[in-house]
Amino acid sequence: MPVKVIIPTPLRAYVGKQETIEFEASTVGEALHLLTTRYGELRKHLYADDGRLRSFVNVYVNEEDIRYLQKDQTRLKDGDTVSIVPSIAGGSRPSVTGKI
Amino acid sequence: MSDTWLQIAGGLVQRMRALGAEAYPQECCGALLGRDGETAREVLDLLPLTNRRNDSPRNRFELTPDDVRVAEQTARERHLELIGWYHSHPDAPARPSEFDRQHAWPWYSYIILSVQKGEAQEMTSWRLHGDRGSYDSESIVCQATISAAPSGAIGRERV
């Protein structure tokens, strides 16, 4: 089941500037595993040390956020598009209230 | 050691400074639209965006995936590229914080504007290094003038 993975601009330097890459994958997790296996430098930008996707990395199957589906177990079918879309965050210093 | 440059039209520098001062004491944020070259990038337009961190806007900013998509679409419509982001640090230096580093993406230019007591001060630009442990600073070149950029030394700093 070939699926298309869309690479966000900030990560294209790690995949030979490709905008999309196709994989044979049954789930989102499998597609991302294949992606980070083939392009190892992507891993640290997509995953935190605990092995979870970083909070600012958003993954969609077609137009649906996998957080509202089955996360990395979301099943894929032929022709699906898996999009990696950034959130952008930052800030000056820790809050006095302790909020992240 | 970084030898990249960020060229910005003087009018856009003034516009960012005004946006930072207007948002004070909250953080302002937005997209940088322009063109990416081998050793220099040009910021040719700005897209101010709404800071989604309603809970902590004085020291945090956030843009959602939909905001990023809007920025990308706007860039395409203007025949430009989405090359980075700007945000302000109210009463804090124009240096990437640990939180900035943890949440940064490689490749993008990140402009940080220090706004002290409501007045825009230093402006710097940074790119996350590939190892995620440091930033490479970019020299800002204000295209309206020939004199040196407001700030920005070439080099890498560990955050």
pLDDT above 90 coverage of chain A, percent: 90
Q: Chain B residues with CB inside 8 Å of A9's CB?
A: 72, 81-82, 107
Q: What is the pLDDT of residue B159?
A: 41
Instruction: Please state the rounded mean pLDDT for residues B67-81.
Output: 97
On chain B, the residues whose CB falls within 8 A of the CB of A44 are 131-132
Examine residue B57 and say whether the peptide bond preceding it is cis (omega within 30 degrees of 0). no
Res A71: pLDDT? 96
Report the pLDDT value the prediction gives residue B39, as an integer from 0 to 100: 76
Q: Is the pLDDT of residue B1 over 50?
A: no
Supply the pLDDT for residue B9.
87
Domain ranges in chain B?
Answer: 5-158
Nearest CA in chain A to B90: A92
Residues in CB range of A44: below 8 A, 6 or more apart: B131, B132
Using an 8 Å Cβ cutoff, are B73 and B49 in contact? no
B27: its two tokens: 């953080």
Nearest CB to B62; choose among A65, A88, A94: A88
Element spanning A66, H or E? none
Question: Mean pLDDT, to the nearest integer, of A4-24?
Answer: 97
Task: Assess contact for B63 and A88: CB atoms under 8 A.
Answer: yes
How close A89 gets to chain B, by Cα (Å)? 4
Q: Which residue of A has its CA nearest to B95?
A: A92
The CA distance from A44 to A49, in Å, is 8
Label residue B38 by pLDDT band (50, 70, 90).
confident
Q: How far apart are CA A16 and CA B147, in angstroms?
A: 37
Give the percent of chain B with pLDDT over 70: 88
- In chain B, which residues have their Cβ closer than 8 Å to the Cβ of A12? 107
**Predicted local confidence at residue A34, as pLDDT:** 97
Res. B129: pLDDT tops 70: yes
Residue B22: pLDDT band by 50, 70, 90 thresholds? very high
Residue B156 has pLDDT above 60, yes or no: no
Query: Cα torsion for B28, B30, B7, B155, to the nearest 10°?
Result: 70
- Among the listed ranges A89-93, B50-54, B126-130, which one has the minimum average pLDDT value? A89-93
Domains of chain A with CATH codes? 2-86 (3.10.20.30)
Express each pLDDT in A22-41 by its tens digit. Answer: 999 999 999 999 999 999 99
SS3 content of chain B, % helix, strand, coil (to 5): 20, 40, 35
Give CATH for domain B5-158.
3.40.140.10
